[in-house]
Amino acid sequence: MLQQIIFIAVLAVVGYIVWKKARQIYQSISMGKPENRTDQPEQRLKNMLLLAFGQKKMFRNLTPAFLHLCVYVAFVITQIELIEIITDGVFGVHRFFRPFLGGFYTFIISFIEVLSVLALVATLAFLSRRNLLRLPRFTMKELAGWPMKDANLILIGEIVLITGIFSMNTADMQLHQGEYGFLVSGMLMPLLSGFSETSLHVIERFGWWLHILTVFGFLLYLPYSKHLHIVLAFPNAYFADLSNTKGKMTNMPRITQEINLMLNPSAATDAPPPAENERFGAKDIQDLSWKSLLDAYACTECGRCTAACPANITGKMLSPRKIMMATRDRMEDIAKAKEQNGPDFDDGKTLLHDYITPEELRACTTCNACVEECPVSISPLNIILELRRCLILEESNSPDEWNKMFNGVESNGAVWQLPAEQRLTWIQELEQK
């Protein structure tokens, strides 16, 4: 009875903390500007099933894709056993589903154990890739410090979780002389031969509590970790851009309107007035769309975007992964500051300049490689474009080479410093040669 009360109390506390943090994340994402992403629901559902659930983009590289699949499938299927553990904890019973499922129960738990072994192998491989092989995209400077520790903590937590599963199942099998018939824990039974019944009960309870407390710890830690993508990858894939034109840049309505007015001044009477304090581009979180903010929280920090970025490959400062990490950091800092100092508090910082520098933004070639490589269709490019627009249109902060191009477009309708008549003569001369 005491164990049951403790379990319910811990479950309630964890549930409240997770709900509170989830609410804060939702509020942070809601700071973004509205954007309609509700069209084509059937296509969006298909997109979510293929990208988030089916891991479609992961299989461009088979080795890490297979390892990730082992962990992913184990994570999904293990929730069945987790439901039983929570049921047992709340109602003070033991293996609640076994009497109802019979032999199928044995199959399910055995299947979970096999998946857990594969997940253990994959976890050890991931730890080796990060800490022994030190693959380049896992050792970039934006991962120094906490991001590297974050990835390792989750992987170590996975090992602890699997240890709890097999401690619980193997001791339970030994207590019941193999009656349950679980596959892997049945093979591990000799490790506990010779233990007294009391010792086996202790080991079984130790494994049970180790497993559930690790799960609770993971739930509490998840909102502060890059592994939040486990949850947010699904809505992020659902609300992804469905445009068939890859890399298409969205025009700013106000700029388009001004150009149309220049070409047709008589339409000025029909043009809506500019919004009060309208910003061209984005300087801080509130100027980005809510989808860009969701992208930042859904980022896996896998680094595939940065590894494919031509600017980064050639030694430029730009790292698309760092753009997403900086955006998420800014949201978290704003939420923390408002919680401590009130909702109207302004820390005097902005995403542009304080978190992301002009040098990073200027290095982008807008090739869309980062979006193409992302497993869940995150778009660092949208954030880069909006910040760069603010730099140019509001701060007049652009290199001389760009200014020459802008002047040429404004004065001559082309990037060259040549009037249209001279360009036509130049073309005709080329045709005559």
DSSP 11-46: HHHHHHHHHHHHHHHHHHHHTSBP----S-HHHHHH
Give dist(CA 1, CA 266) in Å, integer.
81
Of the candidates 234, 247, 287, the residue with the CA atom closest to the CA atom of residue 393? 287
Give dist(CA 397, CA 387) in Å, integer.
11
DSSP class of residue 51 equals: I
Q: 289: which strand partners? A: 33
Query: What per-residue confidence (pLDDT) applies to 285?
Result: 95
Of the candidates 158, 129, 160, 162, the residue with the CA atom closest to the CA atom of residue 302? 129
Identify residue 133 by its one-letter amino acid code: L
The alpha helices in 180-289, defined as continuous H runs, are: 183-188, 197-221, 229-238, 253-263
Give residue for tokens 């949850």.
231
Of the candidates 131, 137, 191, the residue with the CA atom closest to the CA atom of residue 156? 131
Show Cβ contacts of residue 77 under 8 Å, excluding neighbours closer than 6 positions: 111, 112, 115
Length of the chain, please? 433
Query: What per-residue confidence (pLDDT) applies to 57?
Result: 83
Start-to-end Cα distance in the chain: 96
DSSP class of residue 176 equals: T
Give dist(CA 412, CA 55) in Å, integer.
48
Query: What per-residue confidence (pLDDT) applies to 367?
Result: 92
Give dist(CA 265, CA 269) in Å, integer.
9
Q: CA 233 from chain center: how many Å?
A: 6
Say if CB 404 and CB 344 are below 8 A apart.
no
Query: What per-residue confidence (pLDDT) applies to 276?
Result: 63
| pLDDT tens across the length of the chain (433 residues) | 788 999 999 999 999 999 999 999 999 999 999 999 989 999 999 989 988 888 888 887 788 888 888 888 888 888 888 899 999 999 999 999 999 988 999 999 999 999 999 999 999 999 998 899 888 888 888 888 888 899 899 999 999 999 999 999 999 999 998 899 999 999 999 999 889 999 999 999 999 999 999 999 999 998 888 889 889 999 999 999 887 677 778 888 777 877 777 777 766 555 566 666 678 899 999 999 999 999 999 998 999 999 999 999 999 999 999 999 999 999 999 999 988 998 888 889 999 999 999 999 999 999 999 999 998 889 999 999 999 999 998 998 988 888 888 888 777 777 777 776 776 777 777 777 6
Of the candidates 78, 74, 76, 77, the residue with the CA atom closest to the CA atom of residue 120? 74
Of the candidates 404, 366, 402, 371, the residue with the CA atom closest to the CA atom of residue 386? 366
